[in-house]
Amino acid sequence: MKHILLIILVSIPVNIFSQSWQTLSSLPEATVRYEDLWFINENTGWVVEAGDDKIFKTTDGGTNFTFQFQDTGAGYLRSIAFNNANLGWAGSLAGRLYRTTNGGTNWIRVDTQVVPAPSGVCDISVVGSQTMYGSGRYIGPTNIIKTTNGGATYENIDMGAYSSFQVGIWFLNDNTGFVGARSNIISEGSVVLRTTDAGNSWAKVYKSNIQNEHVWNLYFLNAQTGFGTIERFVPGNGAIVKTTNGGLNWIRIEIPGTGVDMDPVGFINANTGWVANHQQFINSLKQTTNGGLNWTNLNFGSSIHGIFIANDSTAYASGGRIYKYTSAMVSIGNNGQNNLPAKNTLNQNFPNPFNPSTLISYRLIANTNVLVEIYDVNGEFIEQLVPLTRQGPGDFSVTWNAGNYPSGVYFYSLRTDLGNYYGKAILVK
């Protein structure tokens, strides 16, 4: 006989006056993660939840959220943005694009109107009342979906000539915009792409020349000052890139202790901003008060994937829960420290050390996109063991035959929708 033990955790909401980040109790812990969020003012906004592919709306600054939409076939809702109170967009990793013209009361699938169909819509940038750019995918192939007439017509821009992985997108106006990516030329590493002709052509205005990373998220404080996060695929520090001349030049700033999965970035003013690591169980929200030169770990927020700046005193973040930074009264519960669900795991390869073959196994808690790759000790790409595919939930394994490689230390990387995981393998001949 099977016995089920049900544990109920009670969170009692309380109101406090704070100028720090707090956890909103109005939405429960996400099944997988609240992937993205968008606010048109400090009170009215929308959130997408990836595990159940749902959209929620608040009109009171997150004190309450109402359910609006669900599509269990969405294939992992990933992004959301609104031009105004009525016209909005949501995208998924599987390439589904949705539009609303009544503030989210109704959502209609519109990717069927895009030719060719999008590979994925990982991030969205909106300009004015009619223009939308959607970027994807973080695991390739890469594209940009564009409309300048509120969705009457669409264009699919193939980005394969510039990028192999692609997420963040930010347009300053109808013509000038930026994309964060991994270069289509592996040796160029992470790149920031810039266009001044509405996406018809792009220039690589930043190249890291480090193979095992890409620029993930972008945020512009104004037309001159912008930031991007750099996500690594193997062990090491994360970083940001920063521009102060409208994206023509970028400087790199390492952030010790961040490791893989650097993800969102947002600045409330020229000095104060935040970045986060989106891996599960990692309370990794970091804050800077000097424009990104130095960072302090706030030890707050689980699996944060989105940061949205509503105004100069209010910001929101999405991850395992919904979080809010404000100087107003907020309702919070349990300080966000709820028990988290099981996570994906990557096991130590066996045998290790090995010669010439070793087994790499991993467990997935849900259906997800998967990539398994090998890098050498210098972080240079070696080979792909599992090409982009959907797997899970369950246990999986792949054998790496390293007979053609010299003795040494290698890293194996598991990339999933919920984060990156890595292990170290030692080849001894």
Under 8 Å between Cβ of 275 and 282: no
Instruction: Using a pLDDT cut of 70, give the percent of the chain over it.
Output: 90
Collapse the DSSP code of 187 into the 3-class scheme (helix H, G, I; strand E, B; otherwise coil) and give the result.
Answer: helix
Average pLDDT over residues 91-106: 97
How far is residue 41 from each of residues 61, 63, 81, 298, measured CA to CA in Å? 9, 14, 13, 26
Threshold 0.85, pTM exceeds: no
**CA pair distance 137, 105, nearest whole angstrom:** 27
What structural domains does the chain harbor? 14-335 (2.130.10.10), 345-427 (2.60.40.2550)
326-384 confidence digits (pLDDT tens): 864 444 344 433 343 467 889 999 999 999 999 999 999 888 889 999 988 887 889 99
Under 8 Å between Cβ of 323 and 270: no
Closest CA relative to residue 180, chosen from 262, 99, 100, 119:
262
Give whichever of 185-199, 302-316, 381-395 has the largest mean pLDDT.
185-199
8-27 confidence digits (pLDDT tens): 333 334 343 345 899 999 99
Residue 376 φ then ψ, to 5°:
-85, 180
Which residues lie below 8 Å from residue 129, measured CB to CB, with a gap of 6+?
A: 83, 84, 87, 150
pLDDT of residue 281: 57
Collapse the DSSP code of 298 into the 3-class scheme (helix H, G, I; strand E, B; otherwise coil) and give the result.
Answer: coil
In Å, how far from its chain's centre is CA 85? 24
DSSP string, 117-153: PPS---EEEEETTTEEEEEE-TTS--EEEEESSTTSS
Residues in the chain: 429
Pick the range with the lowest mean pLDDT from 29-38, 262-271, 291-300, 320-329.
320-329
Return the H-helix or E-strand segment holding 347. none
**CA dihedral of 280, 285, 286, 289, whole degrees rounded to 10:** 170
Residue 25 φ then ψ, to 5°:
-95, 0
Which residues lie below 8 Å from residue 375, measured CB to CB, with a gap of 6+?
A: 211, 212, 233, 234, 381, 382, 410, 411, 412, 413
Which residues lie below 8 Å from residue 346, measured CB to CB, with a gap of 6+?
A: 360, 362, 412, 414, 421, 422, 423
Give me the residue label for tokens 């893989």. Answer: 260
**CA pair distance 412, 115, nearest whole angstrom:** 36
Q: Alpha helix (H) ranges present in 207-291?
A: none
DSSP string, 98-126: EEESSTTSS-EE-GGGSSSPPS---EEEE
**Cis peptide, bond prior to residue 194, ω within 30 of zero:** no
Cβ neighbour number for residue 182 with a 10 Å cutoff: 28
**CA pair distance 58, 65, nearest whole angstrom:** 5
Strand partners, 429: none
123-172 confidence digits (pLDDT tens): 999 999 999 999 999 888 999 999 999 999 999 999 999 999 999 999 99
Average pLDDT over residues 45-56: 96
Collapse the DSSP code of 336 into the 3-class scheme (helix H, G, I; strand E, B; otherwise coil) and give the result.
Answer: helix
228-285 confidence digits (pLDDT tens): 999 988 777 889 999 999 999 999 999 887 667 788 999 999 999 999 987 755 667 9
